[in-house]
A and B are shown apart, each in its own frame.
Chain A
Amino acid sequence: MPDIFISPKNTEPSVPVETSEIPKTDFQKHQFPGHTHNRLSAFCLYPDGVDFETRSDKERIILLLRKHPITNLKWIIITLLLLTGPTLLGLFGIFSYLPVGFSLVISLAWYLVTSAYAIESFLDWYFNVYFVTTHRVIDVDFYNLINKRVSDAEIEKIEDVSYTTGGVLRTMLNYGDVFIQTAAEVSEFDFAAIPNPEKVVKILDDLRQKV
């Protein structure tokens, strides 16, 4: 009997290309679409020259993530507004009530605090990163200036992975939150405001299948 309908063969590999073949050479690594040499990138597949304290010798970093660069907009705008502070104080004549030296020192101190705010905000964004390695997911948090928290969970302990996007900006720029439920000590990982959340979920699902 002739076949009435033959479903098209699934030409896509069952395992996403990102993790099905872990690149062994730099050339292979550079072929992946998500690979970048931009040090300020928020999404980098197989990053070059990146390492962290607790990485074991056999462990390879698959993904480096941090918050989408657009999340920096708030502190950049605040910094720009703060920079106008001494000029506005001068325009409103506040400095005229003070001795000459005081107005200069107040202006310098204002710029000093503004620079601290900008530097701290940038460092906070840059160094709060998430890693997906061949063995683990890792969340590195720095908070309150001198405190850090490094949480990790083995890939095999991941129970569920989901993501959310929503809102105009998040939809337009394609970033969102990825939630990872685990059976490890830290029961939930929240990769907040990361770019391409659907790709991250796909990579994690793929890794879980392989384990």
Chain B
Amino acid sequence: MMQQISFLDFNVWILVKTLALVLLGMYLVFSLVVVRQVKMMTDTLQLGFETPAKFLAYFHLAFAVFVFIAALVIL
């Protein structure tokens, strides 16, 4: 499949990999915004659920970093 697509000395999958990394990089910024959002929420309201909410935000950030690194290594 890859050989079929890599015609004219141009490998399409390199382009797809670059695009995927750019998108995942943008997603990393989004996950940082989520962390910021949770901080704003927990600063505004103390509802007794601050620690789990922060955990969810940091879990999401860690997952985004993991997927970015996985894409960098695997693709």
A, B bound: yes
Contacts of B59 in A (CB 8 A): 115
B63 A39 Cβ-Cβ under 8 A: no
B46 A99 Cβ-Cβ under 8 A: no
Interchain Cβ contacts within 8 Å, total number: 97
Within 8 A of A (CB), among B31-75: 31, 33-34, 36-38, 40-41, 43-49, 53, 56-57, 59-60, 63-64, 66-67, 70-71, 74-75
A100 CB, min distance to chain B CBs, angstroms: 8
Output the residue of B37, B40, B66 with the most chain A CB within 10 A.
B37
A39 B48 Cβ-Cβ under 8 A: yes
Contacts of A51 in B (CB 8 A): 45-46
- Among listed A72-80, A84-92, A102-110, A156-164, interface-contacting one: A102-110
A50 B48 Cβ-Cβ under 8 A: yes
Residues of B within 8 A of A (CB): 1-2, 13, 16, 20, 24, 27, 30-31, 33-34, 36-38, 40-41, 43-49, 53, 56-57, 59-60, 63-64, 66-67, 70-71, 74-75
Known: A50-B47, A123-B56. A145 touches B37 (CB 8 A): yes
* Chain A: CB-nearest residue to B64: A112
Contacts of A115 in B (CB 8 A): 59-60, 63
User: Taking the complex as formed, is A129 at the interface, i.e. its CB lies under 8 A from any CB of chain B?
Assistant: yes
Docked Cα-Cα span, A48 to B71, in Å, equals 46
Known: A49-B46, A105-B67, A112-B63. A123 touches B74 (CB 8 A): no
Q: How large is the interface on A (under 10, 10 to 19, 20 to 34, 35 or more residues)?
A: 35 or more
Docked Cα-Cα span, A123 to B55, in Å, equals 12
A116 B20 Cβ-Cβ under 8 A: no
User: Taking the complex as formed, is A150 at the interface, i.e. its CB lies under 8 A from any CB of chain B?
Assistant: yes
